[in-house]
Each structure stands twice: as structure tokens, then as C-alpha cells.
Amino acid sequence: MKFCRFQPLEFSAAVTRAEETFSPSPRIGKIEGDHVHELTGSLLGETHPTGNTWNLSEVALLPPVVPSKIVCVGRNYVDHVAELRNEIPTEPFIFLKPPSSIIAPGEAIVLPAVSARVDYEGELCVIMGKRCARLEDSDDVKPYILGYTCLNDVTARDLQASDSQWTRAKGFDTFCPFGPLMETDLDLDKTTVETYVNGQRKQSAPISLMIFSVDVIIHWISCIMTLEPGDILATGTPAGVGPLAAGDIVEVVVSGIGTLRNPVQRRAE
């Protein structure tokens, strides 16, 4: 099933509505075809239908959750490791992006003046649904997963190379677009991730080629830090990373989920 957070673009244009007072606050909904069926409650807990229905064209989709942290896995596809001339890791290589780097689908990725090369990195994103800590190898991770979405781990590649750690290269404002919706039922054995820049495919790989699977990633991270409901895990990017330029449109496509689309612009000085 597909769920989302959204804001109505225009209250009066909606298809069917229960009586209510309009509020611009983010709402949640279940997506069926071209319609969003509004829900009350929380995607991290119980939800109930409100009776309001919106066309997708009438709403702006937001990142599906508001995470307390963004945990990312680097060097998780052999071909990507090779293109960056790194060594294949023997255990998951993790780093953090700040929540302040998050932007919604359709918002602009802003190129910082201090970087001469900013790259796209299309990834499958895992959304946690339950508090998760110190899992045993035999523990099933599925009950802890709320769903999946698309993520672009935007990276200042030159700063990543020059700095001894990756906080600056990965942490600029606008460097973590994710969305546009959350899919709760995804067959990872049949899932692919692709990235397009201005309509040209740059990345394409099945999730099955990840060095460390989603199960391994969750077990590993849970033994380091507690994962809270709504936290997101970026599972790594395949080969084909490359630079973005002002005016580009970058799209991350995960089969079974949809397309995360963002324009790119230079920071105004």
C-alpha cells in the first residue's frame, strides 16, 4: 500500500470533502490510483479515514516521515566502489546526514558556492516503524520496517575527497531529497533503483546487488544506535554517480514506489 504526507494546493478544488475547517498543516493519506484518501492519526501508529478525497494533482507531496536521524550506508555496490577506486568494505560503512538537509519532492537542490562538484546518488530508503535496538542475528527485521521510499544522497564530491570525514560533503541544506510516498509492500528481490538527469539514465541496478542487504544493514545499525520510529536508512547507491549543474532535473526512480524529482539551482549570493 502507498501512503503519503501532503499539503493541499487549493482547498476549494478538492473532489469530495467532509465538513471541516481548512488548515495548511501537513496531512497524511493513502494513495489509490490518482487519488489521496485523507487519514487522521499518524503513519507511525493508527490511522482512520476522514472521508476527504483529493486528486494527486491537487496536493503537494511531502517527505513521508519526519526522521530524528538519517543513517546512510556508503560503498554498498561493488561497481560503485570500483568507480570511486575504494576498497570493498567487509562490514557496513555508515555515516549520518542531518535532518536539516531534507527537502520535499519538487523542491530545489541548491549547489553551494564552496563546492565545484555536487553529485546525485539515487538510493532505496528504508523507513523504520518501531523502536529498534541491539537486534540479535536471528531476529526478523520485517516487523521494524514501516515502508520504503526513494532518496537522493546528494554529495559534494570534492569536499568528500578533501575532508577527513563526510559531514560537510553530505550535510548541506537541500542535500537529502526523499519521497514522494511510502510503499509498505515491496519485493526487494525484484526492486531496481535508477537515476535520470534531464531524462538521461545515469544509474540502474537491482537492489539484489547490494553488498549488504537491508536485513544486514538494520541488524548492524541497531547494535550501534537505537533506531526510532520514522528514522530513515539510505541503503547505498549503484555505479554511475555524476555531477549536477544548475538547471538540471534529477529523478530517482525505485520500481514499485515511484519517482523522486528535484530541480537543481545555484545558491543566490
SS3 of 10-32: CHHHCCECCCCCCCCCCEEEEEE
Give the CATH number, domain containing residue 9: 2.30.30.370
The strand pair at 118-120 and 155-156 is best described as antiparallel
Domain boundary, last residue among 36, 62, 88: 62
pLDDT of residue 12: 41
Mean pLDDT confidence for 154-163: 96
pLDDT in tens, 101-146: 999 999 999 999 999 999 999 999 999 999 999 999 999 999 999 9
Based on the fold, state whether residues 118 and 53 are members of the same structural domain: no
Based on the fold, state whether residues 19 and 101 are members of the same structural domain: no
pTM for the whole structure = 0.94
Give the CATH number, domain containing residue 89: 3.90.850.10
pLDDT in tens, 6-26: 999 875 444 444 445 455 689
Based on the fold, state whether residues 84 and 217 are members of the same structural domain: yes
Tally of domains within the chain? 2
Mean pLDDT confidence for 30-57: 96
Cell numbers for 121:
546518488
Q: Which of 76-90, 140-154, 174-188, 225-239 has the lowest average pLDDT? A: 76-90
pLDDT of residue 86: 84
Domain of 259 in residue numbering reads as 70-266
pLDDT in tens, 177-202: 999 999 999 999 999 999 999 999 99
Based on the fold, state whether residues 35 and 92 are members of the same structural domain: no
Element (H, E) at 159: helix 157-162
Maximum distance among all Cα pairs of the chain, rounded to whole angstroms: 60
